[in-house]
Structures are given as structure tokens and as C-alpha cells.
Amino acid sequence: MKIKDIVRAKGSTVFSIDPDKSVKDAIDMLVQYNIGSLLVVVDARPVGIFTERDTLGAVARDPEGFFLLRIGDVMTTDLIIGDLEDDVEDAMTVMTGKRIRHLPIMAGDRVAGMVSIGDLVKSQHDEKSVTIRYLKDYITGNDMR
């Protein structure tokens, strides 16, 4: 299975934020949309990602004024990007190895979507469940022709 299959199924909506916005602005968006990350963009180009983990880092860095910190000062800038043509298993390996939970997906120079490790696990589970069902039917003779 390819990442494009997951993006097609879940949709290509990616929530983003400007690096000059405040951590408060970002937290409000995370809560409003019930999401775990925001892509940080400048002129439609990804420059970083702001996640729940970055929120904790901001609190630890400045417990009194973290709400006022700029996203550009606390975001993760070492952005790891996926491609629509990547295999789901390869993306899972990268995400697990890098200990990230959100992967922006690119199609050339445009943002095509965002997948979470949960999206990848769900796709693998669904794919394996179908295979198991067909194998059970084959073994037991419950062929559904």
C-alpha cells in the first residue's frame, strides 16, 4: 500500500500556521481541530512543524510566558517529509526510527497531505484483516463466489 492511498481515503486537508503566530494561537488550533500537529509554512512552503511535543518544550522553556512565544522559536525545524509514492511500511520505519508521529506528505513542491503514525497503523491493520479473512474463508471452504 502507498501513502497516496491513505491520503486519498482521509483527505488532503493540512492545518498550517505562520511562524510569527504565538504558541497560544497554535494551541487554540490544535484544540479546535482535535489534531496533534500544525505544519509551519511561509509562502506555501513548509519550514517546520509544531506538535504537542513542541508545546511541552515551550512550557518547560518559559513556564510563565510560553503562550506568547513565537511558533518560529519553538517549532521543529528538522522537517522529515514523505512522498505520495512512499510505501506505508517504509514510512512507518522512518517515523518509528525518528520518533515522530506526524509526516507531511509532498507531491513535488506542494503539500499533498499529512499522515499520522495512527493512520499508518490503521491502514496496515485493515489490510491484514482483509487478508486474514480471505485466508480463513479459503482454508474453511467458505469461498464467497
* Torsion angle defined by CA atoms of residues 60, 64, 68 and 70, in that order, rounded to the nearest 10 degrees: -20
**What pLDDT score was predicted for residue 126?**
67
- For residue 129, the model assigns a pLDDT of 63
* Number of alpha helices (DSSP H) and beta strands (DSSP E) in the chain: 6, 6
Domains in the chain (CATH in brackets) are 3-140 (3.10.580.10)
Tens digits of pLDDT across the chain (145 residues):
899 999 999 999 999 999 999 999 999 999 999 999 999 999 989 999 999 999 999 999 899 998 899 999 999 999 999 999 999 999 999 999 999 999 999 999 899 999 999 999 888 776 766 667 767 777 787 765 5
Beta strands in 1-142 (DSSP E): 16-17, 37-42, 45-51, 82-83, 102-107, 110-116
Q: What gap in Å lies between CA 58 and CA 132, rounded to an integer?
A: 45
pTM, rounded to two decimals? 0.83
